[in-house]
A and B are shown apart, each in its own frame.
Chain A
Amino acid sequence: DVKVTQSSRYLVKRTGEKVFLECVQDMDHENMFWYRQDPGLGLRLIYFSYDVKMKEKGDIPEGYSVSREKKERFSLILESASTNQTSMYLCASRLANEQFFGPGTRLTVL
């Protein structure tokens, strides 16, 4: 089975902190994604990557950056966390037409 893991299930940070969310997949997938999920808004794509060191902006990249140094790992970075970044963050990897999701990280910024 494909496994996508995220480094934390719950995270609490303070405004202005730099935040790293880590995602690892074990199936050698080339494509990886970061989404944020908010009630009533569904999933919105922040960034995606189709290869090591390659990244593309999604629909809501402002306030975020990403890093993909190794194929299996895709990191989401909040350079200076703000309260409006309190959300559920979901990572996914893709093979053909199917995306496989991690369990999510619920981030609270105080």
Chain B
Amino acid sequence: ETGVTQTPRHLVMGMTNKKSLKCEQHLGHNAMYWYKQSAKKPLELMFVYNFKEQTENNSVPSRFSPECPNSSHLFLHLHTLQPEDSALYLCASSQVGGRSWTGGELFFGEGSRLTVL
């Protein structure tokens, strides 16, 4: 059983819908991440939260809106998505020594498979 839980595992939505992805980590880590994994592309870092503060937004379109209410929970709010946003969205957590990530391994959830029609 993974220490990082993502729900839902599968999501199908229309371009006008609003939905959210949820991530919860049970590892006591202080940093959480959203990655996007599209077919035939490398993993793309989307957002980083250290100590509940967003420290990185990797030029992600505003139709993706992250929320980190505490160090154990991370959300990705989705609205007016495009078909090209269909992908596997992976959440990860790690223990960092400070505000920047310094080499700790990331622990990943099983991902949320998103299909935008």
Task: State yes or no: do A and B come from one complex.
Answer: no
Interface residues of A (CB under 8 A from B): none
* Residues of B participating in the A interface, judged by any CB pair closer than 8 Å: none
